[in-house]
Amino acid sequence: MLPIRKSASALMRRSLVAGGILALALGAGMPFGSRALQAQSAVDILETGSSLLYPLFNLWVPAYAKSAPRVKITTQSTGSGTGIAQSVAGIAQIGASDAYLSDAMMKKHPTMLNIPLAISMQMVNYNVPGLNQRHLKLSGPVLAGIYQGKITKWNDPAIAAMNPGVKLPDHTIIPVHRSDGSGDTFIFTQYLAFSTPDWANSLSFGTTVSWPAVSGELGAVGNPGMVTALQDNPYSVAYIGTSYQHAIEKSHMGIAMLKNRAGNFVLANARTGAAAAAVMVPKTPKDQRVSLIFAPGRESYPIINYEYALVNSHQPATQTATALRKLFTWAIDPRGGNAPSFMRQVNFVPLPAPVAKLSAAQIAEIQ
Amino acid sequence: MSFRKSTAILASVVGGTLVVIVLFLTLYAWPAIRLNGIRFLGQNSWNLGSLYGNPITVRGQQILPGAHYGILFLIVGTLLSTAIALAIAVPVGVGAAMFLAEGVPSPLRPWMSFFVELLAAIPSVVYGLWGYVVVIPFLGHHLFPAMVRWLGFIPFLGGPAGSGYGLLTAGLVLTLMIVPLVTTTLRDALVSPQASSLREAAMALGASRFETLRAVLLPSVRRVLIGGSILATGRALGETMAVLMVSGNALNYLPGNIYTPISTMASFIVSQLDSALEDPTGMAVRSLAEVALVLCLISVVVNSFARFLLYYDASRA
């Protein structure tokens, strides 16, 4: 044993020395860090979760900071699963999520609030060389077939029937799904479940589902990871939030037209999003936990959802509670965070007045 | 307090921590162990169940409807990626150690050694990022398709070349991380005083430099090589971030060839923890603890096997 122990410790010593050099090199950046610490403000708010809501929060924070300089808001794009987990654990003050908490989770954490801050939409994107400007038509059952491995080629009769006149390639489809807990997975699988009985009975919906094994399929982390996976893999298909539509357009990826409940193929835009919202708003209950997916109506876009802030109504410090109430009140205000200037940049739909009223009632509960 | 006593306390804290962690994991995972049974190790079905359904009771445990846990694909992914890494890293590490000990001109030797050791000190997430940004596009678009074309007749090297994320990529990134471990342990042994006296003795008997290395020095450091490889295996089995970033995060299927996406136990625990925390029954997190327990167990088995090899080697000599 002796030679091993000796050489192992020698190795350790050397790695420590080498590590020390790395640390010294990194340490050169220190003065900036300490200055940032000195400027620490009275209230710290951590927002984490949905990568779909993240771009909007990133626009909100600097704008809001002008009116509330003593509130320091940190934003993280981690995925709705993390938003849910860390907000119920009390690590983050705001858990951003595209999915509301389940009945069982609400039973376990009864003080949690699900407050809609805006309405977002989700695109189904594809990377089929030569066809990315065509807006291929896809439906829930076809997407379910693709993600179940029943439809494996782009020229499958089911896809061809929806896209007459389009020369579809004889190429294997690469379905890309989120591998982290994701609200995008939640709303996408709801679209599949509500439109395809077969999917509803087998995989149902959730922030994580047990994806069937499909040859070539990929898992990606976060909406940015989905965009990268789509770009890097010709013949892939992915579901991505509309706040990434600029990234999709810039990289010339395809945006599919989706079949809605009325049987029409629609693209995600302000009109189709608002049409779906108008139908679903009256169905929103007081606690606002409701799915807006697969709305009826000729023009309705099928995948829209409330973007939730998950917040504990019992805050440990009144200061934090006050700061949160003010922030959310500003965020849902049509002259504040819900102003068209913000919504347009991320392709979200502002909260309709009746929903904003319900949100305001929930915001008042934060104490 | 005497020196002996105080060091004894420190030593038992270190040893005790291991026992406490394993004990805690076992206790925490116990409901999952009872629920999942032995099928946990033999099935490919990690399924949290319907997160929005209402919990049901199965075998005395509260779980979500449809929940089912089986991790064969994780065990296979972990062992295969480690095996690939070892198969490449050991020969390369031995070659590099021989070169550093014998071949490098002496003024350069400390510098070359320093760089190899620096490689071992780089945090694994750096390898992961580099793998993600640089290696995967190259492998996925150039090397893998070429390998399928030219080596496709060999089992597991043919078939769809995939996207660059997968078993071989994970194996290659792990290789880079463990080569320095093998190299430095072996190089240290080759330049040790014992090795120097052996070298001088062999040279004095008229052996050439290569004969000395092959017939005298390498056999004398066999035990060190086994030890270094075990350190390397341990690191490869438990590596988390780098593998997470390049493995493709496969769920519930076994690799069909070496380009197929995989998941390893360590990276799976990280990637699934947040989703598991959404399970109101807590069974998902307990099942992740069971994964951690299996990983511990595999590490213990590997280490014991190495001890046995060393023991066997010593008793034969």
Residues A259 and A357 grouped into a single domain: no
Is the pLDDT assigned to residue B139 strictly greater than 70? yes
Is the pLDDT assigned to residue A193 strictly greater than 50? yes
| Alpha carbon distance A186, A178 (integer Å) | 10
Residues B218 and B252 grouped into a single domain: yes
CATH number at residue B90: 1.10.3720.10
Q: Looking at the domain assignment, is residue A257 inside a domain?
A: yes
Q: Looking at the domain assignment, is residue B9 inside a domain?
A: no
| Alpha carbon distance B196, A181 (integer Å) | 57
- DSSP code for B214: I
Average pLDDT over residues B19-28: 92
Least confident of A39-48, A132-141, B126-135, B154-163: A39-48
CB-based contacts of B44, cutoff 8 Å, min separation 6: A213, B70, B72, B73, B252, B253, B254
Closest approach of chain B CAs to the CA of A201, in angstroms?
11
Count interface pairs A-B at CB distance under 8 A.
Answer: 152
Residues A207 and A278 grouped into a single domain: yes
Residues A195 and A319 grouped into a single domain: no
| A44-89 tens-digit pLDDT | 999 999 988 999 999 999 999 998 988 999 999 988 889 999 999 9
Chain A residues in contact with B275 by the CB 8 A cut-off are 81, 180-181, 207-208
Q: Looking at the domain assignment, is residue B120 inside a domain?
A: yes
Is the pLDDT assigned to residue A364 strictly greater than 60? yes
Q: Looking at the domain assignment, is residue B62 inside a domain?
A: yes
A 83-122 residues inside an 8 A Cβ radius of B: 84-86, 88-89, 102-105, 107-108
| A91-127 tens-digit pLDDT | 999 999 999 999 999 999 999 999 999 999 999 999 9
**End-to-end distance of chain B based on CA atoms, in angstroms?**
43
Is the pLDDT assigned to residue A38 strictly greater than 70? no
What's the mean per-residue pLDDT of chain B? 90
Contact between A259 and A139 (Cβ < 8 Å): yes
Q: Looking at the domain assignment, is residue B163 inside a domain?
A: yes
Residues A275 and A148 grouped into a single domain: yes
Judged by CB atoms closer than 8 Å, whether chains meet at A210 and B162 is answered as no
Residues B66 and B85 grouped into a single domain: no
Residues B285 and B316 grouped into a single domain: yes
Q: Looking at the domain assignment, is residue A99 inside a domain?
A: yes
C-alpha B93: how far from its chain's center?
Answer: 16
Q: What is the token pair recorded at B244?
A: 């997470």
Closest approach of chain B CAs to the CA of A206, in angstroms?
5
| Alpha carbon distance B5, B168 (integer Å) | 50
Confidence band of A164 (pLDDT split at 50, 70, 90):
very high
Contacts 24+ apart (CB under 8 A), B271-274: B271/A179, B271/A180, B271/A221, B271/B244, B272/A208, B272/B46, B273/A85, B274/A78, B274/A79, B274/A81, B274/A82, B274/A84, B274/A85, B274/A86, B274/A180, B274/A181
Q: Looking at the domain assignment, is residue A359 inside a domain?
A: yes
A206 reaches B (C-beta below 8 A): yes
Chain A residues in contact with B253 by the CB 8 A cut-off are 213
Residues B170 and B210 grouped into a single domain: yes
Q: Looking at the domain assignment, is residue B13 inside a domain?
A: no
Judged by CB atoms closer than 8 Å, whether chains meet at A204 and B121 is answered as no
Residues A108 and A134 grouped into a single domain: no
**Cross-strand partners of B71:** B44
Residue A327, amino acid: L
Residues B183 and B36 grouped into a single domain: no
Judged by CB atoms closer than 8 Å, whether chains meet at B310 and A1 is answered as yes
CATH number at residue A64: 3.40.190.10
Residues B228 and B302 grouped into a single domain: no
Give the 3-state secondary structure of residue A213: coil
Judged by CB atoms closer than 8 Å, whether chains meet at A102 and B51 is answered as yes
Residues A279 and A133 grouped into a single domain: yes
pLDDT at B178: 93
Q: Mutate which of A91, A102, A233 to disrupt the B interface (most B C-beta within 10 Å)? A: A102
Q: Looking at the domain assignment, is residue A196 inside a domain?
A: yes
Q: Looking at the domain assignment, is residue B55 inside a domain?
A: yes
pLDDT at A12: 46
Q: What is the pTM of this model?
A: 0.81
pLDDT at A217: 84
Residues A98 and A145 grouped into a single domain: no
Q: Looking at the domain assignment, is residue A214 inside a domain?
A: yes
Give the 3-state secondary structure of residue B248: strand
User: Which of A238, A253, A283 is the last residue in one of the domains?
Assistant: A283
B 181-240 residues inside an 8 A Cβ radius of A: 181, 184-186, 188-189, 192, 194, 221, 223-224, 227-228, 231
Residue A300, amino acid: S
Least confident of A294-308, B81-95, B120-134: B120-134
Q: Looking at the domain assignment, is residue A21 inside a domain?
A: no
Contact between B212 and B148 (Cβ < 8 Å): no
Q: Mutate which of A1, A6, A7, A108 to disrupt the B interface (most B C-beta within 10 Å)? A: A7
Q: Looking at the domain assignment, is residue B219 inside a domain?
A: yes
Q: Looking at the domain assignment, is residue B7 inside a domain?
A: no
Residues A195 and A316 grouped into a single domain: no
pLDDT at A31: 42
Residues A105 and A125 grouped into a single domain: no
Is the pLDDT assigned to residue A313 strictly greater than 50? yes
pLDDT at B317: 59
Average pLDDT over residues B158-169: 87
Residues B162 and B255 grouped into a single domain: yes
Residues A158 and A105 grouped into a single domain: no
pLDDT at B305: 85
Chain B residues in contact with A221 by the CB 8 A cut-off are 249, 271
Q: Which residue has the tokens 């008793």?
A: B315
- Quote the domain boundaries for residue A134: 121-283
**Across the interface, which of B54, B184, B271 has its CB nearest the CB of A179?**
B271
Residues B56 and B148 grouped into a single domain: no
C-alpha A90: how far from its chain's center?
Answer: 21
Is the pLDDT assigned to residue B304 strictly greater than 90? no
- Quote the domain boundaries for residue B183: 73-266
Residues B109 and B58 grouped into a single domain: no
Domains in chain B, number: 2
Judged by CB atoms closer than 8 Å, whether chains meet at B278 and A85 is answered as yes
**Cross-strand partners of A126:** A237, A254
Is the pLDDT assigned to residue A39 strictly greater than 60? no
Residues B175 and B253 grouped into a single domain: yes
Closest approach of chain A CAs to the CA of B90, in angstroms?
16
**Cross-strand partners of A74:** A46
Closest approach of chain B CAs to the CA of A236, in angstroms?
10
Domains in chain A, number: 2
| B222-267 tens-digit pLDDT | 888 988 898 899 999 999 999 998 998 888 889 989 999 999 999 9
| Alpha carbon distance A311, A362 (integer Å) | 10
Residues B199 and B105 grouped into a single domain: yes
Least confident of A125-129, A158-162, A164-168, B46-50: B46-50
Q: Looking at the domain assignment, is residue A23 inside a domain?
A: no
Closest approach of chain B CAs to the CA of A344, in angstroms?
31
Residues A145 and A95 grouped into a single domain: no
Residues B51 and B115 grouped into a single domain: no
Contact between A312 and A113 (Cβ < 8 Å): yes
Surface-to-core class of residue B264, CB atoms within 10 Å of its CB (0-12 exposed, 13-18 middle, 19+ buried): buried
Chain B residues in contact with A105 by the CB 8 A cut-off are 278, 280
When computed from its CA atoms, the radius of gyration of chain A, rounded to whole angstroms, is 23
Q: Looking at the domain assignment, is residue A291 inside a domain?
A: no
Residues A324 and A211 grouped into a single domain: no
**Which carries the bigger pLDDT value, residue B164 or residue A237?**
A237
Q: What are phi and psi of B154, to 5 degrees?
A: -80, 135
Q: What is the ipTM of this complex?
A: 0.71
pLDDT at A150: 95
What's the mean per-residue pLDDT of chain A? 88
